[in-house]
Amino acid sequence: MDIRTIGIIGAGQMGSGIAQVCATAGYSVKLSDINAEQLNAAVAGITRNLDRQVSKGKCEPADRDAALSRIATGTSLDIHADCDLVIEAATESEELKRAIFKQLVPHLRPDAMVATNTSSISITRLAASTDRPEKFIGMHFMNPVPVMQLVEIIRGIATDESTFLSIRDLTAKLGKTAAIAEDFPAFIVNRILLPMINEAVYTLYEGVGGVEAIDTAMKLGANHPMGPLELADFIGLDTCLSIMQVLYEGLADSKYRPCPLLVKYVEAGWLGRKVGRGFYDYSGDMPRPTR
């Protein structure tokens, strides 16, 4: 399919980032969210990002203005009626995503493709909640989307070849590199990354080291750009916990059991940067460890 108009469901950090890269690549974008304030915040954030690119000489003012003009927003799913592809980028909850797809498909053209930005959930199961599993695929962008170069592409059992080829070509046109993953829990990146983060939380939980010691050890000892606990805060501790639960339940292996301390932080609402508190407290000028 010749993709020209791309719908995006969810105007949070991931959805707005996907909208930005699609619009700057020349695609017409229809961004939807149930919260009008979130949509306004997303457009404002995209504008700031593009203004920053202009100030650095990486983007011409005319190109910024053209990209912004390609983004339309709405609080109803009927905004996606003329889309060639709709990418779902809602919260990492299977129940929520399945509900969205059931509400979405009556608005779509019969030939429209559907992708999910899920970071861990079965593509085959999500596809089964639609009327077009052959046109359904996983398209997992990395965060922050405008900066990170990778997109994991995951076929469900019913995904046909033409859908896969269209999404692979789109990924290249967005300036991203595709990694093709099989439909197993958490795919490639999070299958490797999240158990490392979970082990870092266990290391904290068992008193082997404090927050700063653990992050410093991995930054300087393994040459990681961010420590695992700092990274967990950046991802969102609720998202980390959700992915670990998918791994634990999907693979039935005790090595994926979420650390009780991670569960406790999520129960406390200490979800990381997005709420100002996680393994670090972000209320001051500099982040301070909470343990």
Catalytic residue selected from 140, 166, 230, 242: 140
* H/E segment holding residue 143: none
User: How far is the C-alpha of 83 from the C-alpha of 9, rounded, in Å?
Assistant: 12
pLDDT digits (tens, 9 = 90+) for 159-211: 999 999 999 999 999 999 999 999 999 999 999 999 999 999 999 999 999 99
**Percent share of the chain, pLDDT over 70:** 100
176 and 222 co-located in one domain: no
Give the model's pLDDT for residue 235: 92
Give the model's pLDDT for residue 234: 94
Of 157, 181, 205, which residue sits at a domain end? 181
110 and 163 co-located in one domain: yes
Across 57-62, average pLDDT: 94
Q: Is 152 a catalytic residue?
A: yes
CB 4: neighbour CB atoms within 10 A? 12
Q: Which domain holds residue 144?
A: 5-181
Of 156, 181, 206, which residue sits at a domain end? 181
User: How far is the C-alpha of 50 from the C-alpha of 24, rounded, in Å?
Assistant: 9
Contact 239, 245 (CB under 8 A): no
54 and 196 co-located in one domain: no
Give the model's pLDDT for residue 10: 97
User: How far is the C-alpha of 249 from the C-alpha of 244, rounded, in Å?
Assistant: 8
pLDDT digits (tens, 9 = 90+) for 254-282: 999 999 999 999 999 999 999 999 999 99
Give the model's pLDDT for residue 29: 98
36 and 165 co-located in one domain: yes
Catalytic residue selected from 119, 122, 166, 198: 119
Residue 216 has pLDDT above 80, yes or no: yes
Domain CATH code at residue 106: 3.40.50.720
Across 97-107, average pLDDT: 97
168 and 201 co-located in one domain: no
User: How far is the C-alpha of 116 from the C-alpha of 121, rounded, in Å?
Assistant: 9
Q: Is 140 a catalytic residue?
A: yes
**Reported confidence tier of residue 68, pLDDT bands at 50, 70, 90:** very high
Q: Is 224 a catalytic residue?
A: no
163 and 23 co-located in one domain: yes
36 and 174 co-located in one domain: yes
Across 98-118, average pLDDT: 97
Please give the structure tokens belonging to residue 146: 């405008």
pLDDT digits (tens, 9 = 90+) for 78-92: 999 999 999 999 998
Of 162, 181, 200, which residue sits at a domain end? 181
140 and 26 co-located in one domain: yes
Domain CATH code at residue 275: 1.10.1040.10
Nearest alpha-carbon partner for 120 in 235, 225, 276, 266: 235
Across 101-111, average pLDDT: 97
Across 213-236, average pLDDT: 97
Catalytic residue selected from 152, 166, 198, 230: 152
- The mean pLDDT value of the chain amounts to 96
Contact 32, 73 (CB under 8 A): yes
98 and 161 co-located in one domain: yes
153 and 18 co-located in one domain: yes
DSSP β-bridge partners for residue 180: 153
DSSP β-bridge partners for residue 141: 151
Please give the structure tokens belonging to residue 164: 């896969």
Spatial CB neighbours of 158, under 8 Å, sequence gap ≥ 6 = 124, 127, 133, 134, 136
Burial class of 274 by CB neighbour count within 10 A (0 to 12, 13 to 18, 19+): middle
Across 50-60, average pLDDT: 95
Spatial CB neighbours of 68, under 8 Å, sequence gap ≥ 6 = 23, 43, 46, 47, 50
Phi, psi of 60 (to 5 degrees): -80, 145
Phi, psi of 265 (to 5 degrees): -60, -40
**Reported confidence tier of residue 1, pLDDT bands at 50, 70, 90:** confident
Give the model's pLDDT for residue 251: 94
115 and 212 co-located in one domain: no
CA distances for 16 relative to 23, 235, 246, 252, 258, angstroms: 10, 15, 25, 34, 29
Question: Number of folded domains in the chain?
Answer: 2
| DSSP state for residue 84 in the 8-state scheme | S
Nearest alpha-carbon partner for 88 in 19, 160, 134: 19
Across 31-53, average pLDDT: 97
Across 55-69, average pLDDT: 95
Catalytic residue selected from 190, 198, 230, 242: 190
Contact 64, 53 (CB under 8 A): yes
47 and 173 co-located in one domain: yes
Q: Is 119 a catalytic residue?
A: yes
